[in-house]
Amino acid sequence: MADKPITTLLEMTERPALNVTRPHRGGMLLRLEEPSTDFYRFLLRSIGVSADGDRLSLSDQALFEMLGDPLVEVFVLFLGGAPAGCFELDRRVVGEVELGQFGLLSGFRGRGLAKYLLATAVETAFDEEPGRIWVAASAGDDSSSLLLYQWAGFTPVQVDI
């Protein structure tokens, strides 16, 4: 049996005042209106989600139904016409928003884009004034992810070992 990675649950209950610089060259953030399962899986693999991650292990039909739910939103950051990163907001539980997926493709890391993308995800999540926004960070995530979430205003509330 494989060891289960340590998972930290973080949340925020108030909109933070985040000041970040937008990408200066050809950056565009788009909400996927009709996301395909193939493109979604490509994005998740490209940002480093493991093959046994919750979303990647869903059947095509289950993933199609999830992506078709109007309460699940997927946003993609494009730079120079190429996907650079993405985030998913899941509003299916009343009064809260889960930042279900978040990350940058490897070729776009180290450029200061993570703060911009996370700040945009938080602002978008607060559009409908939820009681809380939460994210689960796993020990298998990028080592700087916990610090990034805390920079944005998320506070650790639970650690599962």
Q: Where are the domains of the chain?
A: 7-160
Which CATH architecture is the domain 7-160 placed in?
A: 3-Layer(aba) Sandwich (3.40)
Q: pLDDT per position in the chain (161 positions), as tens?
A: 456 678 899 999 999 999 888 876 778 999 999 889 999 999 999 998 876 667 888 999 999 999 999 999 999 999 989 999 999 999 999 999 999 999 999 999 988 899 999 999 999 999 999 999 999 988 767 678 899 999 999 999 998 87
Query: What is the pTM for the complete model shown?
Result: 0.91
Look-up: residue for tokens 């494989």?
A: 2
Residues in Cβ contact with 39 at an 8 Å cutoff, skipping those fewer than 6 apart: 32
Are the beta carbons of 85 and 103 closer than 8 angstroms? yes
- Where b means 16+ CB within 10 Å and e means fewer, 104-132 reads bbeebbeeebbebbbbbbbebbeeeebee
